[in-house]
Amino acid sequence: MDSLDDLTAKRLQRNAVLSCVSQAVYMALFPIATLSLFLTHDLGLTLADVFVLQATFGLVIALLEVPSGYLADRIGYRITMVIGTVLGAIGWCAYVVTESFATAMIAEMTLAVGVSLVSGTDSAMLYESLRGLGREREFATWFSRMRASASAAEGSAALVGAWLYTQGARLPFVAQALIWLFNVVVVLAFVEPPRERGPQLKPLERCTMILRFAVRGAPRLRKLFALFLALSLPTYVMVWVLPVYLEQAGIAETLIGVIWAATSYATAFSAWLSPKLERRFGAMPVLAACVVALAVGYGGMAAFTYAAWGWVFFFALCFTRGAQNPILHHEEQELIPSSDRAALLSIKSLLFRGGFVIVGPVVGHAIDAHGIRIVMAVAGGLFVICAALAWSAFGAAPRSAAAPNIVTP
């Protein structure tokens, strides 16, 4: 390679490292462990209100997922991530001064727009950077590092954020706004990777082709999306239930951050371990273990709801959160054409967010009406059945030799 090629290769390699740094900063969520408590105790909202806020957050993301992914594929990954990170910082600044359900809703909607621009674009950036180096086979390893870094940062930030909450209810949001402003600087350091742009099409025509490909043109990819949804949605629901679960079990507020940090570190370890487990046992057995872990997590937490140690079963859900992502993300990247990578990844996120829009408020209202124990038992049983069916369907889906083209030039 000449000097320009050497420089390009170094910048693309730097993108992989920056992906881990940016994802860690992105997921260093200081308010996350106490957000439900802030909304219910300090703003006077109900748990149902909390789920409505999060469902609205998910709905906005769902509505913008495909347009934002399309935008990233057309104008570039780097500029899209910069815009999204700036909007995220504005959203957290809005939370610093929120006083009501309405202002919290404005903050959540601003955050949602920012997250929709980053979602899918960040992993597309990582894959295309490695692809530009001819090292796309390393994606699972780098993605597991990215997820492990994110979960470790989430745990550490939750630990600090819980302590900040005891000093002042809004201090975690101040820290969050500042760290997202720092992430703007990190994202600016990325370089746009070389990639295929595909044939020139009118926007409506290309969006139609993308949706047609997702619905009819990639059977295994659809099964993969279904399995991702079936494994991810149950663990995400519990993220918002856990603080209330701990409070009802008599856990002191000062320990909630410690517990949250421990579960985040467990998720980080599972993400780091995932590629190694896949090489040792194969993808399907590891994914089957994720389904079993869902059953153990929900079953144990439902059975020992009011025990001070019942929350330890959440570690089973941490395994599912961490282990399934590197495996499924690597294969989906191989099944998706380069020209519309961010848009198709956004469709998967749309399904996830849309699923939470439906399930989240139902779970919140059910817990308010019937208590955590019975809702977790019923919801957990349904989640496990859906996950087992999705796992079976994914295992039966035929593999293709290469990612098909979305359109024929």
pLDDT of residue 381: 93
In a domain, 405, yes or no: no
d(CA 175, CA 194): 35
C-alpha to C-alpha distance for 145 and 314, rounded to whole angstroms: 22
Ranges 69-83, 177-191, 205-219: which has the least confidence? 205-219
Is 184 inside any structural domain?
Answer: yes
Nearest to 198 by CA among 342, 394, 87: 342
Which comes out higher in pLDDT, residue 207 or 149? 149
Q: Where residue 203 falls among pLDDT bands split at 50, 70, 90?
A: low
| Residue 111 in domain | yes
Owning domain of residue 24: 3-190+217-396
With respect to residue 387, please indicate whether it lies within any of the assigned structural domains: yes
Residue 157 inside a domain? The answer is yes
Query: How much is the pLDDT for 297?
Result: 92
CATH number for the domain that contains residue 45 = 1.20.1250.20
Smallest CA-to-CA distance from 179 within 97, 89, 83, 262 is with: 89
SS (H, E, C) the chain: CCHHHHHHHHHHHHHHHHHHHHHHHHCCCCCCCCHHHHHHHHCCCCHHHHHHHHHHHHHHHHHHHHHHHHHHHHHCHHHHHHHHHHHHHHHHHHHHCCCCHHHHHHHHHHHHHHHHHHCCHHHHHHHHHHHHCCCHHHHHHHHHHHHHHHHHHHHHHHHHHHHHHHHCCCHHHHHHHHHHHHHHHHHHCCCCCCCCCCCCCCHHHHHHHHHHHHHHHCHHHHHHHHHHHHHHHHHHHHHHHHHHHHHHCCCCHHHHHHHHHHHHHHHHHHHHHHHHHHHHHCHHHHHHHHHHHHHHHHHHHHHCCCCCCHHHHHHHHHHHHHHHHHHHHHHHHHHCCHHHHHHHHHHHHHHHHHHHHHHHHHHHHHHHHHCHHHHHHHHHHHHHHHHHHHHHHHHHCCCCCCCCCCCCC
Task: For residue 89, give every residue at least 6 positions away whose Cβ sits within 8 Å of its Cβ, in sequence order, or none.
Answer: 114, 177, 180, 181, 183, 184
- Number of domains present in the structure of the chain: 1
Confidence of residue 79 (pLDDT cuts 50, 70, 90): very high
pLDDT at 234: 92
pLDDT number for residue 271 = 86
Decide if 210 is inside a domain. Answer: no
| CA–CA separation, 294 and 389 (whole Å) | 13
Tell me how crowded residue 316 is: count the other CB atoms within 10 A of its CB: 23
pLDDT at 136 over 60: yes
In the prediction, which pLDDT does 1 show? 39
CB-CB contact of 201 with 406 (8 Å):
no
- Give the whole-angstrom CA distance, residue 245 versus residue 36: 11
pLDDT confidence tier of residue 197, bands split at 50, 70 and 90: low
Mean per-residue pLDDT, 310-318: 89
Crossing angle between the packed helical segments 203-212 and 341-370, to the nearest 10 degrees: 60
Please give the pLDDT value at position 246: 84
CB 263 within 8 A of CB 315: yes
Please tell me the predicted confidence (pLDDT) of residue 2.
Answer: 42
The pLDDT tens digits for 147-193 are: 888 888 888 888 888 889 888 989 999 999 999 999 999 999 999 88
d(CA 265, CA 287): 20
Contacts of residue 221, Cβ cutoff 8 Å, sequence gap at least 6: 214, 332, 335, 336, 344
Q: Does residue 212 form part of some domain?
A: no
Q: Which residues contact 356 (CB under 8 A, 6 or more apart)?
A: 54, 55, 58, 233, 236, 237
Residue 401 belongs to a domain: no
Given this model, what pLDDT does residue 89 score? 93
CA 318, CA 69: separation in Å to the nearest integer?
28
